[in-house]
Amino acid sequence: MLKKNQLYFFFTFLILIGALALFIARPYLQAIVLAAALAAIFYHPYLWLVRKIRSESIAAVLMILAVVIVLFVPISFIGVQAFREATNLYNWISNYDLQDLQNNPAIAGFLEKFSPDTLDRPQDILRGILDWLLASAGYFFSSTLAIFINVVLCIFALFYFLKDGKHLREWLIAFTPLPAKYDVLILDRLMNTVNSVIRGYLVVALVHGVAAGIGLTIFGVPNATLWGIIVAIAALVPAVGATTVYLPSIIYLFIQGQFWPAIFLWIWWLVMIMLIDNILTPKLVSRGARIHPFAVFVAVIGGITFFGPVGFLIGPLVFSLFFALLDIYAEFHKREGEAV
């Protein structure tokens, strides 16, 4: 049995070494957290592969290949394309002369009702939004070497999170001072919450974004990739969502004299909303643990601001863990009250 001064020394030394280890790993915490999130999302498909192949290592490698092909490659392409479109749009807005818009016969009479300051305001707001998007994306794309290192580290971490996830779970249960049944309850609730949020909100939002990007491209709206990303983020806001992009795009096409593309884009919008919200969403959204959509929206915006583009996933992951712990605490408190 250690004496009190020996315990103080041990825990002080442990905290110092832990802080040093965290400081060393700090540049790569994003990659590690992202790998943990991906492992939580793809753990059940990984277990299915293990049952089929009967090899944990091969199943982990195959799952990583699937993640790279399905997620990393498309996201990299979309990110580069959106960054290019945002830069071009920012330059166009900065150099755009409102007089050209006021000379458009389709809306000249309507614009005469507004003062010049009022007409400048939407342009300033859009420029501010693009400033924020470019700053967030620029932080992510600023160093090719850093991106490469983080991707490689994320892949390696994902491999070990999948392959050794069972042992990590057992270690956590043995490490905490709580009874094992409470540890199991916490871990199961956390996994359920993470999967519910990812499946129920982020996947649906991404589908909205992809559908919008395809529709805008088909009907001739410029910078469709960028607007598709904005739709994916806006889709997290109830009752607003994709309207923030579709409606201005339809108005833009009407102003340009492209009446039939505008009408077909409006039809596309209605059809996609009905298909996604009435068919896809009920199948993906779990009836288990949920988080309010506004909290998910704040998590996404805050995650992107703090972590860059990968914050789209990390932000909701952190929030889901936080709310899961709150639910677990409330349940423990209720059980303690009943026991008394």
**Cβ of 158: how many Cβ atoms within 10 Å?**
25
Tokens linked to 55:
């090899």
CA distances from 264 to 27, 207, 257, 269 (A): 47, 19, 14, 9
Domain boundaries, the chain: 28-175, 178-340
Instruction: Write out the two tokens for 197.
Output: 């949020």
Residue showing tokens 């699937």: 66
Measured from the Cβ of residue 229, the count of other Cβ atoms closer than 10 Å reads 26
CB 242 within 8 A of CB 208: yes
| Tens of each residue's pLDDT in the chain, 340 residues | 556 777 777 878 888 998 898 888 888 887 888 888 788 878 888 989 888 888 888 888 999 998 888 777 777 777 777 777 777 766 666 655 555 554 555 444 444 544 455 444 555 555 555 565 556 555 555 566 777 788 888 889 999 988 888 888 888 788 777 777 777 777 777 777 677 777 677 788 888 888 888 998 899 888 888 888 888 877 776 666 778 888 888 888 887 788 888 899 999 988 988 888 777 776 766 555 566 777 777 887 788 777 776 677 777 778 877 877 787 777 777 766 665 5
DSSP of 63-128: HHHHHIIIIIHHHHHHHHHHHHHHHHHHHHHHH--HHHHHT-TTTHHHHTTS-HHHHHHHHHHHHH
Q: In terms of C-beta distances under 8 Å and separation of at least 24 residues, what long-range contacts does 65-69 make, across chains too? A: 66/42, 67/38, 67/42, 67/158, 68/155
